[in-house]
Chain A
Amino acid sequence: VAKTSLTSPPWPEVPKLPDPVEEAKYHAEVVQKVNGMISAGEYGRLFAVVHFASKQWKVTSEDLIMMDNVLEAECGDRIRLEKVLMVGADDFTLIGRPLLGKDLVRVEATVIEKTESWPKINMRFWKRHNYQRKKIIRNPQTVLRINTIEIYPCLS
């Protein structure tokens, strides 16, 4: 029969998904492999995506983070960042939905300094109305250094 514009539906042809049983076997195999790699320690530098101070940061070890607020911890305190969204190395990544478990990842950081930002100038001006206001704003800032990111082989 000849092909007309109405022989097939207008949406693109959806390919069939692979068999769920085979998929489950494949997934279990992958999980076992990654677990083995983690317990054997065959990864280089780890990166993590952490949710902290209402922002998300892509973080590695030994790097600095500056946030625009006050942290109630003294300088030199070790802090554990708990909301980890994703962890990865060169060969594998662990994607959290949306967070990863606390028994799986551990991200440690130290508070390095607590300062104020440079004086930012806030000025408002309306022309022809003799209105101008000038305000100097200094925000408190905290600097953290991420010490280590560790993962434990407890996948399932």
Chain B
Amino acid sequence: MVVLSAARWLRSRLTDRFWRVQEVLKYARHFRGRKNRCYKLAVRSVRRAFVRSTKARREKKRFLRALWITRIEAASLEHGLKYPAFISNLVKSQVELNRKVLADLAIYEPKTFKSLAALAQRRRQEGFLAALGDGKEPEGIFSRIVHHH
């Protein structure tokens, strides 16, 4: 005889429900409360955790930059300079170090940071003299621009 549809006892049943549930619960094992055990609560928490981690990856860069700036400010205040004066004078003296490296130098190479602060202070004073004296006085030595070819 010709059978066109499958017999009634051959139902298509889900056999790997356990592993599908474990895929979600494995990310929730370190959570607090019932959301580390119960699937319905865990799904919501895991979803929020993933979304928060994606957003945090973008904010981590802002947060780290603020941290470096705070550290550089503290270190330059130890040497008697404020952060805007330090950074602007370093940039004017053509020293292109970024804030991450400046913070690392302030922590691990204090003598180098002191010399950078002295350079910034000297450039600052030459800037003041150039602005206030105005012409006919000798140009500052540290204000000269280096040309690379």
Please list the residues of chain A having a beta carbon within 8 angstroms of any beta carbon in chain B.
11, 14-15, 17, 20, 23-24, 27, 47, 49, 56-58, 85-86, 88, 90, 93, 95-99, 120-125, 132, 134
Chain A residue numbers with a CB within 8 Å of B146 are: 97
Interface size on B, residues (CB 8 A): 34
Is B87 an interface residue when CB atoms closer than 8 A count as contact? no
A134 and B96 within 8 A (CB): no
B residues lining the A interface (CB < 8 Å): 47-48, 50-51, 53-54, 57, 93-98, 100-101, 104-105, 108-109, 111-112, 115-116, 119, 125-126, 128-129, 132, 138, 140-141, 146, 148
- Give bound CA distance, A27 to B105, whole Å: 24
B interface: dominant SS = helix
**Which of chain A's residues has its CB closest to B57's CB?**
A120
In the bound complex, do residue B125 and residue A17 qualify as a contact, i.e. CB atoms below 8 Å apart?
yes
Collect the chain A residues with CB atoms within 8 Å of residue B57's CB.
Answer: 120
Q: Between A and B, how many residue pairs show CB distances below 8 Å?
A: 73
What residue of chain A has the Cβ atom nearest to residue B139's Cβ?
A20
Known A95-B119, A98-B95, A99-B148; judge A124-B132 contact (CB<8 A).
no
In the complex, chain A residues whose CB is within 8 Å of the CB of B125? 14-15, 17
Task: Determine which of A15, A27, A97, A124 lies in contact with B94 in the assembled complex, contact meaning CB atoms within 8 Å.
Answer: A97
**B residues in contact with A86, CB < 8 Å:** 97, 112
Q: In the bound complex, do residue B141 and residue A23 qualify as a contact, i.e. CB atoms below 8 Å apart?
A: yes
The answer for the CA separation of A134 and B54 in the assembled complex, in Å, is 11
- Minimum distance in angstroms from A126 CB to a CB of chain B: 10
**Structural contact, B129 and A121, CB atoms closer than 8 A:** no
Which of the residues B105, B128, B132, B141 comes within 8 Å of A58, measured between beta carbons? B105
